Each structure stands twice: as C-alpha cells, then as structure tokens.
Amino acid sequence: MRKSGKNAPDLSLPAAAADMQMRMALRQMNFAPGAAPAARPVRDGETALALKRREWLLDVMDRQRALSSYASGLLTAENPSSDDFLHLFYAPGRPVIIKGAMTGWPALEKWTPDYLAATVGEAMVEYQGGRDEAADYELMKDRHKRRAPFSRFIELVRGGGNDAYITAYNNAANAAAFKGLEPDLGYLDAYLTRAHGMLWFGGQGAFTPLHFDLTNNLLAQVTGTKRIILIPPSQTRQLAHRRHVFSDVHDVTDPRRLAAHPAARDVLRYELVLTPGDLLFIPIGWWHQVRSESFSAMLTYTNFLWPNAGHDSYPG
C-alpha cells in the first residue's frame, strides 16, 4: 500500500486481544450491555460546559495527530485489500484516495460526451437546473428538478457552468435511462456489494457547496477531473453550520464568503484532484466541496460491505 508520510506501523491485532481491549474500554465507561443510561434533568449551564469540553477534546486530538505526518496526512493507497480498507480507513473514519481499483473498466476510455449522448440518446432524464438563479440550490433540490432528453442535457453542459447538473439526487428517476451504460462499469467487490453507484454528469464549473453526508461515501471518478476540499468534523464550529448538513460558508475558496465568515479562513483542510480511475473514501461527517475542472462523469457509492448508518439518528 502506498501512503503519504512515514511508513505505517503494523496495525494487526489478534482477535482475542482486540476483544479484551474493547471490554476494557467499555468497563472504563461503566457500560453494561443492554442497559439504558438513567435519565436526569439537564442543569443550567451543563450543556454549554459539555460543548466546551467536546471542543477542547477535538482541539487536543488535532494537535496530537499533527505530530505525525502519517497520522495527520491524507493517504493514498494502491488497491488495498478488503481487510486493509476496513481496518485502516472505514472503521477509523479516515479518508483515503485509492488508486488501481478501477483498472479495466471500459467506461474510463469510452465515456466522452459524444459517446454518452449517442448511447443514452433521447431518453428523458431528470437533472438539477436553474442553479445559477438561487444560492440555496442544494438545500432546495426539489425546486430545481428539470427534465430533458439526455442528448439535450449534454448540449447544456458542454459549455460548462453550474446551471445544469445530474446529481445523485436524480439517481432513482434516471435508472432506466442509464441502464445501457452499466456494461461499461466494473465492480468494487473488496469494498461494496454488487450494486452500481449513483451517477453524476456535469460540465466544467459544476459545483457542490460545502456540506457533509449522513453516510460513508465512495466516489469513483470516470471522466474528467474534480477538485475536492475535505475538512475534518473537528472544524465544524468554524464553518457556520446552521441548516441540515450545509455550511453557510458555501465555498472556502471564495474571498467574499470568507470575509463574511472569517472563522473559516484558518480551518484545517485537504485539497486534492480526482482523475479518471481514482476512488475517494469520504467518511461520514467529513465536510467537503466539489468542483468539476472539466466535463465530468462520476459515481457515488454507499453500499459498503459493512454497516453504513447515521441518517436515521441524525438530530434535526
């Protein structure tokens, strides 16, 4: 496995030792399986103090990780095994760029705008439109649903811009129209069940503003390049998080937004460019924004081999 920073230590742990470690941790927390914590009234100021302590802990953990380039860096792995991916990235909730897992997919060579337009043809598709007219186009997705023949959609996005975009939100409506593209795709059996991902098609400049997701996501870049900024959950207090999973900062590269939200200027962030054949694992809760640098085709997967829940218990 190729990594940024220093070589990683051997993180293997015998099953019995891991089980004992977990039991000890639970015992220290006074946790009894099946026992519900006793409810009691929250005292005045207790919530504020608890939040301050949480922020203190997150700050301390960030400083500790910064001591090691391996612990604090964004890693790149060459086609990791299922076990390596689970133990080093999925379970710890750590992002990783994966190379080599999409080798041999026909889509990597075929999916030009001309090929896509010819293959899907005049099939009607749903897309997000009129995005330039509203700042809250991601929050109010239903208001921006549009329909057109796919060949017409391709013409709309050839010239670039953010006004028209097929996103994961349109996936269910477009399943039949995109069925003919499935033979061009492979499977990622080391990490996922055998279901194809949600498709994204857009032109240069298509932009998804700063947000986090309520599931773990695996992004698979097929055509073109996307510039992605990742921000750890520990930076949330600096990101003007008021509505659902979105940040009022919107774009941490926009000087006007940063002038309105100066706390976001100094957030810890990672910037990368996804190229065809790259995978990016984004753990649940990690902030990210995505901008297409060219015409782009991408898939998003959530159907991991391991539990992937979070949305069902998300407050608000």
Question: pTM of the full predicted structure?
Answer: 0.85
Structure tokens given for 102: 């999409």
H or E stretch including 20? helix 15-28
Give the model confidence (pLDDT) of 95-115 as tens digits: 999 999 999 999 999 999 999
Contacts of 248 (CB under 8 A, 6+ apart): 239, 240, 241, 242, 260, 261
Question: In this structure, which amino acid lies at residue 28?
Answer: Q
Cα 264 from Cα 236, distance rounded (Å): 9
* Domains within the chain, CATH numbers bracketed: 98-304 (2.60.120.650)
Cα 91 from Cα 88, distance rounded (Å): 7
Give the model confidence (pLDDT) of 29-72 as tens digits: 444 445 445 555 656 678 888 889 989 999 999 999 999 999 99
Share of residues in the chain with pLDDT > 70 (%): 86
Q: 313: pLDDT confidence band, cut at 50, 70 and 90?
A: confident
Q: Measuring CA to CA, how many Å separate 249 from each of 19, 120, 210, 214, 259?
A: 42, 37, 7, 19, 10
Once rounded to an integer, what is the mean pLDDT over residues 72-90?
97
Least confident of 8-22, 75-89, 197-211, 293-307: 8-22
Least confident of 132-136, 170-174, 207-211, 288-292: 132-136
Q: To which residue do tokens 């499935």 refer?
A: 182
CA proximity to 97, closest of 214, 272, 226, 223:
272
Q: Which residues of the chain form beta strands (DSSP E)?
A: 75-78, 96-99, 124-128, 145-149, 165-166, 198-202, 207-211, 217-223, 226-231, 241-243, 246-247, 270-274, 279-282, 287-292, 296-301
Q: 5: pLDDT confidence band, cut at 50, 70 and 90?
A: very low
Cα 235 from Cα 55, distance rounded (Å): 9
